[in-house]
Amino acid sequence: MLKKLFVTVLMSFSAAAFAVPFGSQSVLVVEDDTGKILLEKNAGAVMPIASLTKLMTAMVVLDARLDMDELIEIDRSDVDVVKHSSSRVPVGSLISRRDVMQLALMSSDNRAAAALARTYPGGAAGFKAAVRHKIATLGMSQTVIEEPTGLSPRNRSTAGDLIKMAAASSRYPEITNMSTQSKDLININGREVEYRNTNRLVGAKGWDIGLSKTGYIQEAGRCLIMNIKANGKNATMVLLNAGASSARILDALNVRRFITGEPVGRALVAKASNREPRMKAGSSRARIKATASRARIKATAGAGKIKIVKKRVVRSKVKVVPKRRK
Protein backbone atom coordinates (compact mmCIF):
# COMPACT_ATOMS: atom_id res chain seq x y z
CA MET A 1 0.00 0.00 0.00
CA LEU A 2 2.76 2.41 0.98
CA LYS A 3 4.72 1.47 -2.13
CA LYS A 4 1.71 2.26 -4.34
CA LEU A 5 1.22 5.59 -2.59
CA PHE A 6 4.90 6.50 -3.09
CA VAL A 7 4.74 5.63 -6.80
CA THR A 8 1.56 7.70 -7.22
CA VAL A 9 3.10 10.72 -5.49
CA LEU A 10 6.34 10.39 -7.47
CA MET A 11 4.40 10.20 -10.74
CA SER A 12 2.49 13.36 -9.87
CA PHE A 13 5.73 15.23 -9.22
CA SER A 14 7.24 13.81 -12.40
CA ALA A 15 4.30 15.26 -14.31
CA ALA A 16 5.23 18.68 -12.95
CA ALA A 17 8.71 18.23 -14.40
CA PHE A 18 7.23 17.85 -17.88
CA ALA A 19 5.92 21.41 -17.55
CA VAL A 20 9.50 22.62 -17.11
CA PRO A 21 11.79 22.29 -20.13
CA PHE A 22 15.03 20.70 -18.92
CA GLY A 23 18.22 20.34 -20.91
CA SER A 24 19.73 18.19 -18.14
CA GLN A 25 19.14 14.46 -18.48
CA SER A 26 18.54 13.93 -14.77
CA VAL A 27 16.96 16.46 -12.39
CA LEU A 28 15.81 16.47 -8.80
CA VAL A 29 14.63 19.53 -6.85
CA VAL A 30 13.65 19.13 -3.20
CA GLU A 31 12.27 21.62 -0.68
CA ASP A 32 14.73 21.51 2.23
CA ASP A 33 12.36 22.16 5.13
CA THR A 34 9.76 19.53 4.19
CA GLY A 35 11.64 17.09 1.94
CA LYS A 36 8.92 17.57 -0.66
CA ILE A 37 9.93 16.75 -4.23
CA LEU A 38 9.25 19.84 -6.34
CA LEU A 39 10.59 18.64 -9.67
CA GLU A 40 11.95 15.31 -10.87
CA LYS A 41 13.29 13.86 -14.11
CA ASN A 42 15.10 10.50 -14.26
CA ALA A 43 16.22 10.98 -10.66
CA GLY A 44 17.06 7.30 -10.25
CA ALA A 45 19.38 7.07 -13.26
CA VAL A 46 22.99 6.23 -12.34
CA MET A 47 25.38 8.67 -14.05
CA PRO A 48 28.97 9.94 -13.78
CA ILE A 49 29.08 12.91 -11.39
CA ALA A 50 32.36 14.65 -12.36
CA SER A 51 33.50 17.34 -9.89
CA LEU A 52 30.39 17.08 -7.72
CA THR A 53 32.70 14.48 -6.15
CA LYS A 54 34.63 17.30 -4.49
CA LEU A 55 31.82 17.90 -1.97
CA MET A 56 32.43 14.38 -0.66
CA THR A 57 36.19 14.99 -0.65
CA ALA A 58 35.74 18.13 1.45
CA MET A 59 33.40 16.43 3.95
CA VAL A 60 35.77 13.52 4.51
CA VAL A 61 38.74 15.84 5.08
CA LEU A 62 36.77 18.02 7.51
CA ASP A 63 35.53 14.94 9.38
CA ALA A 64 39.16 13.99 10.02
CA ARG A 65 39.65 17.31 11.91
CA LEU A 66 43.01 17.95 10.27
CA ASP A 67 44.98 21.16 10.79
CA MET A 68 43.52 23.50 8.19
CA ASP A 69 46.46 25.91 8.54
CA GLU A 70 49.04 23.21 7.75
CA LEU A 71 50.93 23.93 4.54
CA ILE A 72 50.46 21.36 1.77
CA GLU A 73 52.88 21.09 -1.12
CA ILE A 74 51.30 20.49 -4.51
CA ASP A 75 53.06 17.39 -5.80
CA ARG A 76 53.70 16.18 -9.35
CA SER A 77 51.51 13.18 -8.50
CA ASP A 78 48.57 15.59 -8.11
CA VAL A 79 48.72 16.53 -11.81
CA ASP A 80 45.84 15.18 -13.91
CA VAL A 81 47.13 12.50 -16.28
CA VAL A 82 43.63 11.13 -17.01
CA LYS A 83 41.90 14.05 -18.73
CA HIS A 84 44.94 16.35 -18.85
CA SER A 85 42.87 19.20 -17.41
CA SER A 86 44.57 22.54 -16.85
CA SER A 87 45.36 24.06 -13.47
CA ARG A 88 46.57 27.44 -12.29
CA VAL A 89 48.12 25.86 -9.18
CA PRO A 90 51.83 25.25 -9.87
CA VAL A 91 53.56 22.05 -8.79
CA GLY A 92 55.75 22.82 -5.78
CA SER A 93 53.41 25.47 -4.34
CA LEU A 94 53.04 25.52 -0.56
CA ILE A 95 49.43 26.33 0.30
CA SER A 96 47.45 25.98 3.51
CA ARG A 97 45.01 23.09 3.62
CA ARG A 98 42.20 25.64 4.03
CA ASP A 99 43.14 27.42 0.80
CA VAL A 100 43.62 24.10 -0.99
CA MET A 101 40.06 23.17 -0.06
CA GLN A 102 38.88 26.60 -1.22
CA LEU A 103 40.49 25.98 -4.62
CA ALA A 104 38.86 22.56 -4.87
CA LEU A 105 35.36 23.78 -3.99
CA MET A 106 35.20 27.27 -5.49
CA SER A 107 37.39 26.87 -8.57
CA SER A 108 37.04 23.08 -8.86
CA ASP A 109 40.81 22.69 -9.13
CA ASN A 110 41.75 19.03 -9.62
CA ARG A 111 45.30 19.30 -8.26
CA ALA A 112 43.87 20.78 -5.07
CA ALA A 113 41.39 17.94 -4.62
CA ALA A 114 44.08 15.34 -5.32
CA ALA A 115 46.37 16.97 -2.74
CA LEU A 116 43.63 16.85 -0.09
CA ALA A 117 43.29 13.09 -0.60
CA ARG A 118 47.04 12.45 -0.81
CA THR A 119 47.68 14.21 2.53
CA TYR A 120 44.78 12.44 4.27
CA PRO A 121 45.82 10.15 7.15
CA GLY A 122 46.72 6.83 5.57
CA GLY A 123 47.16 8.40 2.14
CA ALA A 124 44.99 7.37 -0.82
CA ALA A 125 43.95 4.08 0.83
CA GLY A 126 42.86 5.86 4.01
CA PHE A 127 40.94 8.44 1.99
CA LYS A 128 39.06 5.80 -0.04
CA ALA A 129 38.10 3.93 3.13
CA ALA A 130 36.78 7.16 4.68
CA VAL A 131 34.76 7.92 1.53
CA ARG A 132 33.19 4.44 1.53
CA HIS A 133 32.26 4.87 5.19
CA LYS A 134 30.73 8.31 4.54
CA ILE A 135 28.71 7.01 1.58
CA ALA A 136 27.32 4.19 3.75
CA THR A 137 26.56 6.57 6.63
CA LEU A 138 24.56 8.87 4.33
CA GLY A 139 22.64 5.95 2.83
CA MET A 140 23.86 6.66 -0.70
CA SER A 141 23.25 3.11 -1.90
CA GLN A 142 23.59 3.90 -5.62
CA THR A 143 26.89 5.79 -5.30
CA VAL A 144 30.47 4.74 -6.06
CA ILE A 145 33.38 7.18 -5.63
CA GLU A 146 36.82 5.85 -6.47
CA GLU A 147 38.94 9.03 -6.46
CA PRO A 148 38.75 12.59 -5.07
CA THR A 149 38.54 14.81 -8.17
CA GLY A 150 35.67 13.46 -10.28
CA LEU A 151 37.88 13.04 -13.33
CA SER A 152 37.07 9.33 -13.44
CA PRO A 153 33.73 8.41 -15.06
CA ARG A 154 33.61 5.54 -12.56
CA ASN A 155 32.56 8.08 -9.89
CA ARG A 156 28.82 7.54 -10.31
CA SER A 157 25.63 8.34 -8.47
CA THR A 158 21.98 9.29 -8.86
CA ALA A 159 20.24 12.63 -8.37
CA GLY A 160 18.46 11.08 -5.40
CA ASP A 161 21.72 10.11 -3.70
CA LEU A 162 23.30 13.47 -4.51
CA ILE A 163 20.45 15.29 -2.73
CA LYS A 164 21.57 13.40 0.38
CA MET A 165 25.18 14.44 -0.21
CA ALA A 166 24.13 18.06 -0.74
CA ALA A 167 22.08 18.08 2.48
CA ALA A 168 25.04 16.70 4.42
CA SER A 169 27.46 19.19 2.83
CA SER A 170 25.18 22.08 3.83
CA ARG A 171 25.82 21.25 7.47
CA TYR A 172 29.52 22.17 7.11
CA PRO A 173 29.98 25.97 7.38
CA GLU A 174 33.39 25.70 5.69
CA ILE A 175 31.84 24.06 2.61
CA THR A 176 28.93 26.48 2.31
CA ASN A 177 31.22 29.50 2.72
CA MET A 178 33.92 28.32 0.33
CA SER A 179 31.56 27.09 -2.38
CA THR A 180 29.53 30.30 -2.48
CA GLN A 181 32.32 32.86 -2.83
CA SER A 182 32.32 34.40 -6.28
CA LYS A 183 36.08 34.99 -6.16
CA ASP A 184 38.99 35.06 -3.73
CA LEU A 185 42.69 35.87 -3.53
CA ILE A 186 44.91 32.89 -2.70
CA ASN A 187 48.56 33.22 -1.76
CA ILE A 188 50.58 31.17 -4.24
CA ASN A 189 54.35 31.22 -3.60
CA GLY A 190 54.16 34.68 -2.00
CA ARG A 191 51.93 36.16 -4.71
CA GLU A 192 48.21 36.92 -4.41
CA VAL A 193 46.38 35.17 -7.26
CA GLU A 194 42.69 35.69 -7.96
CA TYR A 195 40.52 32.62 -8.48
CA ARG A 196 36.84 32.62 -9.44
CA ASN A 197 33.85 30.40 -8.86
CA THR A 198 33.00 27.98 -11.65
CA ASN A 199 29.28 28.68 -11.10
CA ARG A 200 28.53 32.00 -12.81
CA LEU A 201 25.28 32.38 -10.86
CA VAL A 202 27.19 32.75 -7.57
CA GLY A 203 27.27 36.46 -6.81
CA ALA A 204 24.77 37.29 -9.57
CA LYS A 205 22.05 39.79 -8.71
CA GLY A 206 18.89 38.24 -7.32
CA TRP A 207 20.44 34.87 -6.46
CA ASP A 208 20.61 33.74 -2.82
CA ILE A 209 22.82 30.64 -2.98
CA GLY A 210 23.67 28.59 0.09
CA LEU A 211 25.71 25.79 -1.54
CA SER A 212 27.20 25.37 -4.99
CA LYS A 213 29.27 22.86 -6.93
CA THR A 214 29.63 22.44 -10.66
CA GLY A 215 31.05 19.48 -12.53
CA TYR A 216 32.13 18.50 -16.02
CA ILE A 217 33.82 15.69 -17.84
CA GLN A 218 32.77 14.51 -21.29
CA GLU A 219 31.09 11.38 -19.93
CA ALA A 220 29.09 13.32 -17.32
CA GLY A 221 28.11 16.42 -19.26
CA ARG A 222 27.50 19.65 -17.32
CA CYS A 223 26.41 19.01 -13.73
CA LEU A 224 25.33 21.22 -10.85
CA ILE A 225 24.40 20.94 -7.19
CA MET A 226 22.98 24.17 -5.81
CA ASN A 227 20.98 25.24 -2.79
CA ILE A 228 18.91 28.38 -3.30
CA LYS A 229 16.44 30.51 -1.39
CA ALA A 230 13.53 31.79 -3.47
CA ASN A 231 10.01 32.89 -2.61
CA GLY A 232 10.70 32.17 1.07
CA LYS A 233 11.63 28.56 0.33
CA ASN A 234 14.98 26.82 0.66
CA ALA A 235 15.43 24.26 -2.10
CA THR A 236 18.26 22.06 -3.34
CA MET A 237 18.62 21.17 -6.99
CA VAL A 238 20.69 18.47 -8.69
CA LEU A 239 21.19 18.80 -12.45
CA LEU A 240 23.09 16.05 -14.27
CA ASN A 241 24.34 15.66 -17.84
CA ALA A 242 23.34 18.92 -19.52
CA GLY A 243 24.75 19.32 -23.02
CA ALA A 244 26.28 22.75 -22.42
CA SER A 245 26.90 25.35 -19.70
CA SER A 246 24.14 27.48 -21.22
CA ALA A 247 21.65 24.60 -20.83
CA ARG A 248 22.70 24.09 -17.20
CA ILE A 249 22.18 27.78 -16.37
CA LEU A 250 18.83 27.91 -18.13
CA ASP A 251 17.71 24.83 -16.19
CA ALA A 252 18.64 26.59 -12.93
CA LEU A 253 16.75 29.70 -14.06
CA ASN A 254 13.67 27.64 -14.85
CA VAL A 255 13.83 25.85 -11.50
CA ARG A 256 13.86 29.18 -9.69
CA ARG A 257 11.01 30.52 -11.82
CA PHE A 258 8.99 27.39 -11.01
CA ILE A 259 9.59 27.89 -7.27
CA THR A 260 8.62 31.56 -7.38
CA GLY A 261 5.54 30.86 -9.48
CA GLU A 262 6.73 32.79 -12.52
CA PRO A 263 6.00 31.53 -16.03
CA VAL A 264 8.65 29.05 -17.08
CA GLY A 265 10.29 29.87 -20.41
CA ARG A 266 11.02 27.30 -23.07
CA ALA A 267 14.79 27.01 -22.89
CA LEU A 268 16.86 26.66 -26.01
CA VAL A 269 19.40 24.00 -25.29
CA ALA A 270 22.66 24.45 -27.15
CA LYS A 271 23.78 21.27 -28.88
CA ALA A 272 26.73 19.59 -27.26
CA SER A 273 29.74 20.05 -29.46
CA ASN A 274 33.48 20.16 -29.23
CA ARG A 275 33.26 23.93 -29.10
CA GLU A 276 31.52 25.29 -26.03
CA PRO A 277 28.95 28.08 -26.57
CA ARG A 278 30.39 31.39 -25.37
CA MET A 279 29.10 32.61 -22.01
CA LYS A 280 29.71 35.91 -20.31
CA ALA A 281 28.69 36.55 -16.73
CA GLY A 282 28.82 39.76 -14.74
CA SER A 283 27.76 40.51 -11.20
CA SER A 284 24.24 41.42 -12.30
CA ARG A 285 23.49 39.29 -15.34
CA ALA A 286 24.61 36.24 -17.24
CA ARG A 287 24.67 36.54 -21.02
CA ILE A 288 24.66 33.38 -23.03
CA LYS A 289 25.37 33.25 -26.75
CA ALA A 290 24.49 29.84 -28.10
CA THR A 291 25.95 29.60 -31.57
CA ALA A 292 24.89 26.01 -32.14
CA SER A 293 21.17 26.86 -32.07
CA ARG A 294 21.44 29.76 -34.56
CA ALA A 295 19.76 31.99 -32.00
CA ARG A 296 20.89 34.34 -29.28
CA ILE A 297 19.76 33.66 -25.73
CA LYS A 298 19.86 36.53 -23.26
CA ALA A 299 19.28 35.31 -19.70
CA THR A 300 19.04 37.92 -16.96
CA ALA A 301 20.09 36.26 -13.73
CA GLY A 302 18.14 38.62 -11.51
CA ALA A 303 14.77 38.30 -13.19
CA GLY A 304 15.27 34.93 -14.81
CA LYS A 305 13.88 36.21 -18.10
CA ILE A 306 14.74 34.46 -21.31
CA LYS A 307 14.65 36.51 -24.48
CA ILE A 308 15.04 34.70 -27.76
CA VAL A 309 16.02 36.75 -30.77
CA LYS A 310 16.01 35.02 -34.14
CA LYS A 311 19.12 35.54 -36.14
CA ARG A 312 18.46 37.81 -39.12
CA VAL A 313 19.62 36.48 -42.42
CA VAL A 314 20.58 39.14 -44.94
CA ARG A 315 20.35 38.06 -48.53
CA SER A 316 22.32 40.10 -51.02
CA LYS A 317 20.76 40.85 -54.39
CA VAL A 318 22.48 39.40 -57.42
CA LYS A 319 22.12 41.17 -60.77
CA VAL A 320 22.35 38.86 -63.75
CA VAL A 321 23.57 40.42 -66.99
CA PRO A 322 22.77 38.43 -70.18
CA LYS A 323 25.80 37.38 -72.12
CA ARG A 324 26.19 39.44 -75.25
CA ARG A 325 26.64 37.61 -78.50
CA LYS A 326 29.59 38.62 -80.55
| pLDDT tens series, the chain, 326 aa | 444 434 444 444 444 555 688 999 999 999 999 999 999 999 999 999 999 999 999 999 999 999 999 999 999 999 999 999 999 999 999 999 999 999 999 999 999 999 999 999 999 999 999 999 999 999 999 999 999 999 999 999 999 999 999 999 999 999 999 999 999 999 999 999 999 999 999 999 999 999 999 999 999 999 999 999 999 999 999 999 999 999 999 999 999 999 999 887 654 433 333 333 333 333 333 333 333 333 333 444 444 444 434 444 444 444 444 444 44
This prediction has a pTM of 0.78
Report the run of H or E that residue 79 belongs to, with start and end: none
Domain segments of the chain: what residues? 2-265
Distance CA 62, CA 171 (A): 11
- Pair 92, 186: CB distance under 8 Å: no
> How many CB atoms sit inside 10 A of residue 54's CB?
30
Q: Which amino acid is at 171?
A: R
Fold category of 2-265 in CATH: Beta-lactamase (3.40.710)
For the purposes of burial, counting CB atoms within 10 Å of the CB of 313, is it exposed (0-12), middle (13-18) or buried (19 or more)?
exposed
Tally helices (H) and strands (E) across the chain: 8, 15
**Which of 301, 212, 255 is closest to 27 using CA atoms?**
255
Return the SS3 of 171. coil
Tell whether residue 41 is among the known ligand binding residues.
Answer: no
Question: How far from 75 is each of 94, 118, 151, CA to CA, in Å?
Answer: 10, 9, 17
Return the SS3 of 105. helix
First to last CA, the chain: 94
Q: Which residues are known catalytic residues?
A: 51, 54, 108
